[in-house]
Amino acid sequence: MLANKTAHIVYVVDDDFAVCDSLSVLIQASGYSVKSFLSAKEFLDNYDNKLPGCLILDVRMPPMSGLELQDNLLAKKIEIPIIFISGHSRVLDSSKAFRSGAIEFLEKPFDNDILLIRIEEAIKSDLENRAKNSEHELIKQRMESLTLREKDVLIFIVKGFSNKEIAKMLDISCRTIEIHRSRVMKKMQVQHLSQLAIMIKEQLM
């Protein structure tokens, strides 16, 4: 279970007032903060990227459909997890939604427990994403503190070359490599070579 649910915001976007309102009531009753909108545009105007959360989105809405909103968010690199709800499932719609990274595609009327479970999952995934994103940010900063030579050394280390081999390739003394290596380990704040390898691998992915 998530702690401190109210800190997470569940956005509900559906052009049908009754659906929108009932979802808000339900989700609020489950302890989340809810922001509901009757159109995609309203959502875009009011969305705040800083707080973790998820989006419950109706597929068919005039004038901007849920799928269009999803594309719009992707284009803006806003990575909020989306749970689609739809009055009638169409394979085409759902497969497109999933390809673009939707968490779930629920057909109305749906089992609220599943919805709540999915909301929890979505928020968790958002939190993880955000954490990962912040870790990436950290590693990026550390890497930027390396000198050019240190970066070269780092790349060879991660690729598994020995100090001797690196010294030979870069045409510098083995001693100098050792100094660079200890500096890299220090700046990247890792104790073991394996930790460094994982860190760099994730960063490059």
Partner 1 sequence: MLQNTFQELSHSFDNYIHYYNSSPIAYLTLNEQGVIKQANPSATHLLTGSNEVLLDEKLETFIHSSDQDDYHFFIKDLLDNKNDSIVTVKLVNQGIEYRQPECSGFRLIDCSRSLCKHQNPLLYIVLRGVVNRNIKNGVEFYLTIQNVSESLRNQEIITCLNQKLEEKVFQQNAKLVQNNLDLTKKITELTQSKKQLAEREAKLNAIFDASMEGIVTFDQSGLIVSTNMAVATYFGYSQQELINCPFNILIASLQSNKPFQILINQLITKDPTVLINQIYEVNGIRKDSSTLPLEVSIVEYSIDGALYFTGILRDISLRKQQELKEKAQLTKLAHVARLCLIDEMGSGIAHEINQPLTAIANYSQACLRLMYVEKPDFAQLSDILLKIHQQSLSLGQIIHRIKNLVSYQATLRTHTNINTLIQEVISLCMIDFNRNNIYICLDLLEDMPDIMIDNVQIEQVLLHLIRNSIDALKNSKNQRQLLIQSCIRNLNQVEVSVQDNGSGVHESEKNTILNTFFTTKVMGMGVSLSICKSIVESHQGSLDFISKTNEGTTFYFLLPIETLSNVSQ
Write out the residues near partner 1 by the rule CB under 8 A. Answer: 15-16, 18-19, 21-23, 25-26, 28-30, 60-63, 85, 87-88, 108-110, 112
Task: Supply the minimum distance, in Å, between the C-beta of residue 82 and partner 1.
Answer: 18
**CA 61-63-65 angle, 5° bins:** 45
* Tokens encoding 186: 């220090």
d(CA 16, CA 27): 17
Contact of 173 with 155, CB cutoff 8 Å: no
Q: Are 32 and 9 in contact (CB under 8 A)?
A: yes
Instruction: Give exposure, 55-72, as e/b (b: 16+ Cβ within 10 Å).
Output: bbbbbebeebbbbebbee
> Least separation, in Å, of the C-beta of 59 and partner 1?
10
CB of 28 to partner 1, least distance (A): 8
Identity of the residue, 68 or 128, whose beta carbon is nearer to partner 1 in the bound complex: 68
Nearer to partner 1, 20 or 196 (CB): 20
Quickly tell me which residue has 């629920």 as its tokens. 106
22 or 129, CB closer to partner 1? 22
- The distance of closest approach from Cβ of residue 25 to partner 1 in the complex, given in angstroms and rounded to an integer, is 4
Nearer to partner 1 by C-beta: 22 or 125? 22
C-beta closer to partner 1: residue 62 or 160: 62
Which residues fall within 8 angstroms of residue 129, CB to CB, at 6 or more apart? 79, 81
- Least separation in angstroms between residue 116's CB and partner 1 is 8
